Amino acid sequence: MAAVGRLLFWPPSEGTLEIGYGIVAFRRGRGYASEATQSLAEFALTAPDVHAVSASVELSNPSSTRALEKAGFHRWATEENTARFRLTSLDHDQR
């Protein structure tokens, strides 16, 4: 069995759960990041205290941006070198 990558999250703060992920280089481009992110977000949004799931991406990483968009996340803020994405329970219900 080979590792594909990692997916992690931080405890919810004010109803928002933050996630992060990394895929090993030789497994990138196969949809693992978007699939895992979407699955974790869907699961997190079933918790009564979670109303949104967020993730941050460096602007120099367009592949990660595409993975989040494919998973249903929307960009809601851009800072100096970072874009912030989120998926809310309303977004999830409209899918």
> Which domains does the chain carry?
5-93 (3.40.630.30)
CA atoms within 13 A on the CB side of 60: 2
Per-residue pLDDT of the chain (95 residues; tens, 9 = 90+): 456 778 888 888 899 999 998 887 777 788 778 898 999 999 999 999 999 999 999 999 999 999 999 999 999 999 999 999 999 987 656 65
The 3-state DSSP class for residue 63 equals helix
Closest CA to 38 of 50, 51, 55, 25: 55
What pTM does this model have?
A: 0.85
